[in-house]
Each structure stands twice: as C-alpha cells, then as structure tokens.
Amino acid sequence: MAFDEETNGFKVVGTRPDRPDGIDKVTGRARFGADVTAPGMLHAVIIRSPHAHARIVKINSSKAEAAPGVKAVVTRADFAEGLEGENWNILENLMAGEYALYDGHAVAAIAATSSLAARDAARLVEVEYEMLPHVTDVDDAMQEGAPVIRAGAADGSVPAGMHPNVVRCHDSGHGDPEEGFAEADLVIEERFTTEATHQGYIEPHACLGTLGPDGRGELWCCTQGHWNVQKVCAALLDIETSKLRVTASEIGGGFGGKTAVFIEPVALALSRKANRPVKLVMPRADVFRATGPTASTSMDVKIGMKKDGTITGASGVFRCQGGAFPGAPMEFTAMCGFAPYALKHVRQIGYDVMTNRPKQAAYRAPGSPMAAFAVESVIDELCNRLGLDPIDVRLKNASREGTKANFGPSWDRIGLVETLEAAKEHPHFSAPLAEGAGRGISCGFWFNHAGETAVQLALSEDGTVQLSVGTPDIGGSRASMCMMAAEELGIPYEDVRTTVADTATLGYNEISHGSRVTYASGLATIEAARDTVKKLCKRAADKWGIDAEAVEWREGCAIPSGPNAGDFDPMPIKEIAGRMGQTGGPIVGHFEATPEGAGVSFATHIVDAEVDRETGATTVTRYTVVQDAGKAIHPSYVEGQYQGGAAQGIGWALNEEYIYDEDGRLQNAGFLDYRIPVASDLPMIDTVIVEVPNPGHPYGVRGVGETSICPPLAAIANAVSNAAGVRMQDLPMRPSRILEALKARS
Amino acid sequence: MRYHTPSSFEDASAIAAAATGVTRFLAGGTDVLVQLRSDLVTPDDLIDIKHIAGVKDIARHSDGSWRIGAAVSGAELAEHEALIAEWPGVVEALELIGSTQIQARCTLVGNLCNGSPAADSVPAMIAAGATASVVGPEGTRELPVEDVPTGPGMTSLGPGEVVSAVNLPPRGECGGDAYLRFIPRTEMDIAVVGAGVSLSREGDTIIAARVALGAVAPTVVLVEEAGAALVGSTLDDTALAALAGAAEAACRPISDKRGTVEFRTQVAGVLARRAAKIAYDRAGA
C-alpha cells in the first residue's frame, strides 16, 4: 500500500535518540510537584475520616485555628455551592459535605507556617461522627439490604428493581448468544473477580497554589492535564477560568491516576483564606486511601466453542465497583473483553456499583484488563478441554478489518492477526517448558483516544525550534515530538526543544490520557511543522521573486520545485530564520483541532510461570509482549511502554490489592503491604513491535501506553493455572490463594 | 524531645532509668525513625548509643564465641568472612532485611529489641543459641535471646535496661545454620513465616539441633520438639516429616493482611524442612 511505503522513508522517526529530559531526571535537576517553594509559603495538611461511612455531625476547628503558626482552616463551606454533575462529585470527593463516604475521605484542611505545625494542629480539629453501616465489596453492595451510599444517584440506564448502589448500566451486542451456545460442542461459564489496584506512581500528588483576594491565581502541580485542573479549580472555587494560570510540573508517574483532581482546589482555598502561597504534598498513606485506585470487579463470562475452535456465542456480565461515586469504567470493561473476536452472537452487560471506598480513577486502559482476564481465561479453559492450540483458536476467531465489532461498529484497519502471527513465530511460543511450569497466552484491546489538542512551533533566529505542547510528558513524549518536528522540518533532532506549556500559553489541551499524546500532539506537531514549512517557503519565494507554490522544502532547505521555477541555491532554515525580522517578522506554526482517527490497538502476550506447590509462590520466568504500535516513533520508548504495562500487570495479577477490614478501613495504605513488584520479581520482558499503520495519523501512529496492560492479568492467570493444574478465577493470585486452590483440587 | 549521646552503656542506662516519658534507644534507627515519622511512637527521650566505644565491633574470642556490638550494621556483618564461615544463617537472616540503604543501618540488637514476631534475624539468633548482654541499673546480665521478646512490640527488658551486644556461642566442628523466610515478593518485605535452624553433625548423624520460627506466634518461638525431631537422624524423610509436624504444631499465628493461619502453619513446616537441609549441608561441608 502507498501509505505503508510512505511511512517507511523516515530519517529521524524510528531512531532511538536520548530523551531530552533524561539528564535533568538523573541529576535531580528536574522539578517535580513538591520541588518548588514560594516566599511566605504555608504548608497544608488534610484531615481525613477514619470511618468508612458516617454522618458528619459537627466540625470544631477553633482549637486548631488558635494553634501556633496556623493561618487558615477550610471545610466544605469554603468551596462553591450549587455545583452539578461531575464537578459536584469531584468537590464532594475532595472535601466531604454531609457524609464521610470512605476511610480517608477529606473533611477539613489546615495551612500553617510549617508542616510540623500543620500536623500538630490537625490533631486539634474535633470532628463528631455518627456511624453508618458500610459496604466495600461489589457483590455485597448489590444485594438487597446493602447500605445505600447515596439514594438517587442512579441514571436512567439502570433497569428497575436493582439496588440503588447500581448507578449506571451498559448493555450491547448483537445476535442471540443462546442460539450460539446451542451450536457449541462445549460451553463454559465461570465467575471471576479482581481486587482494586492502585496506579502506584512513585511521586505523591503535590502542588503549590496562590489565590489572591482579587480572584487571580497561580498553580504549580503534578498532573496529567493542567487545563483540566484549571477548569475544575475554577468551578470548585467559583472563579473565572482564565484568572488561574496552571503549570504542570515534571511527573513521577501517573498511569491515569493523575488525570483526576484531589488536592489543588484545597490548596487554593487555603491560600485564598490565608492570602499566602500554600504547598500541599500528600503523604503516601493518603495517596492510597484517598486517590483513585481502579475498580474492583465481579464478572460472569460464558463462551461456547465448537470442536474446531470456532466460537459460537459469548456473553458476559461485568460488575465494576468504583467507590462512593458513579464512574467505574464498566462500559469499557463490557466492550473490551470480546473485542478481539469476530462473533456472530455476543452480548455484554456492565454495572457501575457504588461502595464505601475512594472514588476510582483511571488506571491505564480503565476496565479492559479485568475483562480480558475473565474472557481469555474461559477461552484458555476451552482450548485446554478441547485440546486446541491457544493461538490457532484466537487466529480462527480474530477480529479483522471489516468485521463487526462486539460493541457495534466495523473495524477499520487493525493489527490483531499480525500480533498473533508474530507471537506464534516467536521462539518463546515454541520453547520447551520446564517440569511444573505453565504457559499462558492472552490477547488484549484498547480503544485509544484523540482529544482536543493545540501546539505551537516557534522558529528561533538561529534556525532552531521551540515546540510548545500542552500534554504533560508521561512516557517520553517530548522525545517523540522533537523527532516528528525534526522529521518534517528536515533538521537534526537536537535542534528542537519541546516544552510542556502552561495554560496561559496555548489553547485548551485535553489531559494526557487515552494513549493520546504521541497520536494527537504528534499529529498536531506534524501539522504545525507543515504550517511552518509553508511560511518558510513563502519567505524564500519572496526573496527569489517567485510564487510560493513554486518552492519546496527538502532536507531543511527551501528549493525551487523544478527547473521551471528558476535556478536558485537551496536556502537553509538558518538563513531564513536569521533574516525573518526583516522579511515579515516571527515565523510560528501552529495547529489546533480535535483530531479523529486514533487507531485502536491490540496485543498478544506470552507468559511462562512456575508455581511452588508447597508455598504457593509464583515466579514469572519468561514474558513476551507483542503489540501493534501502528508506527513506533521512538522504538525504545514504545518498548518501555510494553514492558511497563507487563510489569504493572504482573503486580496486579499476583500480589496487589486493596485490603479492607470488617470496619471498612484500608489495611495496607503503604508500599510495604501494597505489594507492587520490585525489580527482582520480574523477568526480562521481551518485546516485539508490530507495525500496522493507523490510517488516521500522518505517520501511522497508534497509542501504545494502555494496550500493554490489557493482556497481562489473563496471560499470567493462564500460565499459573496451567502450571498449578487448577483454574485461578480470583485476583490477585497471592500464595495463600494458590495453596487453597491446590488443596481444594486434591 | 530530648536527644542524648551518652559515652557508655552505664550512662545510657542511667538516662533511661531517670526518664519519665517514652524512651527509645537509637542505633541504626530503621525502626525508631520510621515509627517517629509515621506518628506511631514519638519519644520524649531519644538515646543515641552510637557514640559508645565498641558498639561497632565484631570480636571473636579465643574459645570461638563471638560478640557483636549493638550498632554493627547488616552491611558490616555481611562483609565479615570469618563470621559468615561460622554463622552463615545469622548473617543471611540480618541481610534479608530491607534495601541496601537499610542494610547500612540495621542491627541485630535493634531487630531484637523492636519486638516484632516477624523479625528476620531473631529466629536465626535463637537457633544459634545466641545471648544478649544487658546493661541496667542493677548491673549487667546475660539473657538468652529467646527470653527477650514477650509479645508484639514488647520485651522483657526492665526500665533503664539496654542491650549492648549479641553473643554467639562457639560454632564447634561440623556445625551449620540457615534461615529462610517466606514473602510474597523476592525483596523488600516482612516475613509471613520465618524459620531458623542450627545443627551439629557427627558424620552423617545430627547430634544437636535448635529450630526457631518467626511470624507464627506473638513472639519468635524456639521449638524444642522440632530440634529434638532431628537429633539422632541423618535428616531422612521420617526426620523431616517429624520436624515439619513439630513446627506446625508450635504455630499459634493470626490471620492478617500478610497471611492466614492455615497458610502460615503449612509454610512453617515447609520452611523448617528446607532450612534444615541447608544447615545440614553446611554442617557437612
């Protein structure tokens, strides 16, 4: 195809230069959320509910206000009233109103002249609670008689007769699964559960805010999307959006968890009250208790298969618990599970369920990894019982260009089959297994997103380029932006500097989420560079006295487009830049749009695992990620995304979980007992980049950050189940659970 | 908070004996400072014993016994080849604690006096037959390590008493020890179960053995029946089964976020067997 050929002749794209932020990060020069100070700055502490569910009878802060160094105390009364929709949810979450809805729910905040003074004063705030019954488990929360988190929270999508904690419902599919099951040689239906897991970013949320009595403010914060922070803060504090300028710090990990707003309006409210800058840094325990983990789930999946591996029908019910607010990603869970397969009969139902837990937040492909765990486990079991090859079965049923997706539309150009074929050819798939080891395969799917995007590309007088983007760099995107700008302009990578601009500098940029940045900011960068090239050509044309259309841009120079255009020496970018003040003024290219065409992405993972049958301990011994990147701009950082998704998936599958006691208090609000994998827990994670270009991007880019975490839960569970000889249906597969399963089988 | 830097254990003891509030002795600080920062324990008197002469010494006496000062770090222990040659189990137990940074600070005495039932070095010390030198208002006494912890976070030390060193007995001929713990990860975790075994052989036959278990009871426990199950055997399957049975029978664990009663009990037997095999091989080497 012409498009494929066009995307193969790159000079910069596809190489592996060092990232521009690398030296700052390894030398400590990079400034993260907590790394800034301001003259007269105060330190803030948030006071949180120790109860899972309680009515707040009274808050008495008079002793705290009189304590040494205290300059301001805020409660819900210090925020905007009359909010609706998600703004009300965000406010209710970051500062409780009438009810404390989970262990860790904020009820008040203090700003003082030192963090020690603020901590001491926090103990003097008297909060009177009236205890209420609570529920933290998704299935329990749907049972008759379960405590109601908030009456009337359900929308019109919920069928009549369901518990009020079920607040949204998704129902999609086509055909008749019952008809499909009737055609099958084997039908398997099982229940699967997954616990809530935290994104586990190393940098806690932190910000420094100033808001004066005139309603004008500045905010420095660690976020994946500072325009969103600006918008939310303005709403919650009842100020005009443009009066608050927000700058995004370097970010020490986000994975979706820093798309939400938790502390910034609190710092600004304290600042407004004290008329001083306020710094707020979340302690780690607060990060676990009060920022969003992903949803926990309970899922029933039923699939029918013929002896030849044809899937005849599939259905699933996906119940997602998202804490004390609506928003669990149940529609994505429902839509993603069966997406890899072309199905005649399929139906998927999702439920969004409220409990007394923190408000869930996005975590890398929200909802999809759990769905893949349930669906791909059933497919693995079907393959085992029918004696079929797990890759051949997936290839036989794979979604392809033109087939109808399980949730409606027909697929555009997609690369699932290519990942399966690459996995089958990979030496890992045919390598002999050690005695007692097991191998697991899984596919995974994520939509990817585009979103509102604005960039600006300004030429300096020496011919180097300053590129301003509005998407915080959460995965090496500045390197990719520099590369795409350099590719278009025909200049060296080192001649482009990419900066994440503040909210006053560019038009609205959506959050860095949905694996959108390399796609959308990349597309915008290419278009802004092309806009710049037009302007550069015009300057050369004016100098030569020919039409702008008669000038081309090649290898960093303006040249006449052909013999008829005239005989002029190439005019390099540096020459045009050096004279731009005299030839019409600054040269700046820009692009603003909401692009459409973020191509979806599929992956196939292969995992080998060994299980210690005496202790239940699992060792992941080999791991291979095969994923469609569309076009890998910087292959090293694409591989890094693949490995990172697999690593987080290993933690989620084996040991990470939110543990609540019977009082609904979180038992493991720290990295000691919330067990993310350490380096020695992981094998070297091999990667294969498949490139099936996305027609919706000039270079064929698809987002890669999220798809990589979709297959791991299932692939690891399949490997462990095959090693242990018993199907593991509940995550995490902690050692005690494996021993129990082994005991139950024998 | 008052911070003290006494130059002798007698002075340290006197400061502690005179104190009326919460008192903590500070060596590596890997428990004390963490508890301070997380608002769990805020001492009124913090007594830093690192300035006392000899606290960083590792000494081997002429009879083959050892004295390890209260501020000797895991990293220092791990570089002491002569000690590793005789007591590899004690050294590997302390070495398991925390990260490289923690290893530069953490100590045997601190691990003991923190009173955690999950302390990694304590089962190894108990199996080894180690004692603690205690300095107090009434003078100095020597206490078997297993008599120090009395419950989670509690010890038998009286007001003003401070542990100045840990003493290991002479290893003798054909002896070996080992410590194993179970954690869900490979590093940076707290024992769900720990097992220390020390034994001596005469030819292929075990002539003495001590077994201690961690994280399966309110304190680290010396399981005399488990040691007895090994004596006289060549560590054959019958002896190993008897060892595991005795170890399981000694377990009185709780179910918590780190493990269940059933899991801890089963794995205690498994680890005791595995540690015994390592100790047996080391004793024969």
Would you call A352 helix, strand, or coil by DSSP? strand
User: Is the CB of A655 less than 8 angstroms away from the CB of B184?
Assistant: yes
**Helices B261-284 and B237-249: angle between axes, nearest 10 degrees:** 140
Mean pLDDT value across residues A438-445: 98
Residue of A nearest to B258 (CA): A673
A477 and A424 share a domain?
A: no
Average pLDDT value for residue range A637-646: 98
The minimum CA-CA distance between B182 and chain A, rounded to whole Å, is 8
B179 pLDDT band, cuts 50/70/90, is very high
Q: Which chain B residue's Cα is nearest to A116?
A: B37
Q: Is residue B8 part of a domain?
A: no
One domain, residues A267 and A125: yes
Per DSSP, what are the bridge partners of residue A460? none
Mean per-residue pLDDT, A321-341: 98
**The pLDDT value given to residue A4:** 60
Residues counted in chain A: 746
ipTM of the complex: 0.94
User: Is B221 among the domain residues?
Assistant: yes
Q: Does residue A146 lie in a domain region?
A: no
| CB-based contact, A683 to chain B, within 8 Å | no
Minimal C-alpha gap between A740 and chain B (Å): 8
**CA-wise closest residue to A456 among A447, A448, A465:** A465
Residues A658 and A536 in one domain: no
Which pLDDT belongs to residue A1? 44
- Chain A residue with CA closest to B185: the answer is A681
Alpha helices (runs of H) in A477-562, residue ranges in sequence order: 477-489, 522-544
In this complex, which of B38, B189, B263 lies closest to A736 when CB atoms are compared? Answer: B263
Residue A342: inside a domain, yes or no? yes
Token pair in block for residue A460: 């300096």
- Stretch A111-129: mean pLDDT: 96
And the tokens for A196?
A: 């809530």
Q: Which of A734, A736, A738, A743 to mutate to test the interface with B (most CBs of B within 10 A)?
A: A736
Q: For residue A165, is it within any domain? A: no
pLDDT digits (tens, 9 = 90+) for B180-192: 999 999 999 999 9
On whether both A67 and A13 belong to a single domain, the answer is no
A672 touching B, CB under 8 A?
yes
**A411, amino acid identity:** W
CATH number at residue B280: 3.30.390.50
In a domain, A313, yes or no: yes
Same domain, A565 and A616: no
In a domain, B245, yes or no: yes
Report which residue type is found at A169: C
Per the CB < 8 A criterion, the answer to whether A329 and A218 are in contact is no
Look at chain B and report how many structural domains it folds into.
Answer: 1
> Are A662 and A628 in the same domain?
yes
| Token pair in block for residue A614 | 């005496």
Indicate whether A81 and A112 sit together in one domain: yes
Question: Is there a domain that residue B146 lies in?
Answer: no
Q: Is residue A516 part of a domain?
A: yes
CB contact under 8 A, B184 and A734: yes
Return the DSSP state at B64: S
Report CB contact under 8 Å: B184, A617. yes
The torsion of the CA quartet A543, A548, A549, A550, rounded to 10 degrees, works out to 0
A113 contacts chain B (CB < 8 A): no
Q: Which two tokens stand for residue A638?
A: 């694409």
Position B10 in a domain:
no
User: Which chain A residue's Cα is nearest to B181?
Assistant: A615
Whether A500 is in a domain gets the answer: yes
User: B6 preceded by cis ω (within 30°)?
Assistant: no
CB contact under 8 A, B186 and A668: no
In this structure, the answer to whether residues A577 and A567 fall within a common structural domain is yes
Average pLDDT over residues A218-243: 98
Tens digit of each residue's pLDDT (9 = 90 or more) over B228-279 = 999 999 999 999 999 999 999 999 999 999 999 999 999 999 999 999 999 9
> In the predicted model, what is the mean pLDDT of residues A435-448?
97
A426 and A464 both lie in a single domain:
no
**CA of A741: which chain B residue's CA is closest?**
B263
Q: How many helices (H) and strands (E) does chain B have?
A: 11, 14
Closest CA to A604 of A411, A449, A399: A399
Q: What percent of chain A has pLDDT over 70?
A: 99
Give residue-wise pLDDT tens across range B5-32: 999 999 999 999 999 999 999 999 999 9
Count structural domains, chain A. 3
C-alpha span between A559 and A565 (Å, rounded) = 9
Q: Hey, how many other C-beta atoms are within 10 angstroms of the C-beta on A538?
A: 19
Cβ contact, residue pair A735, B184, below 8 Å: yes
Query: B269 lies in a domain?
Result: yes
Task: Give first-to-last CA distance, chain A, whole Å.
Answer: 57
In terms of residue numbers, what domain contains B186?
A: 175-284
Q: Tell me: the pLDDT tens digits for A278-292? A: 999 999 999 999 999
Residue at a domain's end among A540, A574, A593:
A593
Q: What is the CATH number of the domain that holds A263?
A: 3.90.1170.50
A486-526 pLDDT tens trace: 999 999 999 999 999 999 999 999 999 999 999 999 999 99
Average pLDDT of chain A, as a whole number: 97
Look at B184 and A677 and tell me if their CB atoms are within 8 Å.
no
Looking at the structure, do residues A554 and A687 belong to the same domain, yes or no? no
3-state secondary structure of A377: helix
**A7 has pLDDT over 90:** no
Residue A107 falls inside a structural domain: yes
**Cβ of residue A673 closer than 8 Å to a chain B Cβ:** yes
Q: Residue B267 domain-assigned?
A: yes
Q: Which residue of B has its CA nearest to A678?
A: B187
B192 contacts in chain A (CB < 8 Å): 735
Residue A240 contacts B, CB cutoff 8 Å? no
**Residue A338 belongs to what domain range?**
296-448+599-745
Nearest to B182 among A615, A667, A680 (CB): A615
pLDDT value, residue A264: 98
Assigned domain for B232 exists: yes
CA B131 to mean position of chain CA atoms: 10
* pTM for this prediction: 0.97
Count the alpha carbons within 13 Å of A102 in the hemisphere toward its beta carbon: 28
Whether residues A329 and A272 fall in one domain? no
Asked if residue A681 belongs to a domain, the reply is: yes
Q: What is the pLDDT of residues A163-188, one digit of tens each?
A: 999 999 999 999 999 999 999 999 99
Task: Work out the pLDDT band at B285, boundaries 50, 70, 90.
Answer: confident
Residues A610 and A587 in one domain: no
Question: Does B37 score more than 90 pLDDT?
Answer: no
* A614 touches B at CB < 8 Å: yes
| Inter-helix orientation angle A330-337/A368-386, to 10° | 30
When scoring B35, B102, B181, B182 by the number of chain A Cβ atoms within 10 A, the one with the most, hence best to mutate, is B182
B149 contacts B117 by C-beta, under 8 angstroms: yes
Distance from CA of B122 to the nearest CA of A (A): 20
Would strands A278-281 and B175-182 be described as parallel, antiparallel, or unpaired? unpaired
Question: Mutate which of A48, A286, A615 to test chain B, going by most B C-beta atoms within 10 A?
Answer: A615
Contacts with A202 from chain B: Cβ below 8 Å: none
Dihedral sign for Cα A7, A12, A16, A20, please. negative
Q: Are A655 and B186 an interchain contact pair (Cβ–Cβ within 8 Å)?
A: no
In sequence order, what are the residues at sequence separation of 6 or more whose Cβ sits closer than 8 angstroms to the Cβ of residue B168? B65, B66, B68, B86, B87, B90, B125, B128, B129, B130
CATH number of the domain at A366, please. Answer: 3.30.365.10
Phi, psi of A388 (to 5 degrees): -110, 155
Which residue in A has a C-alpha nearest to residue B261's C-alpha? Answer: A736
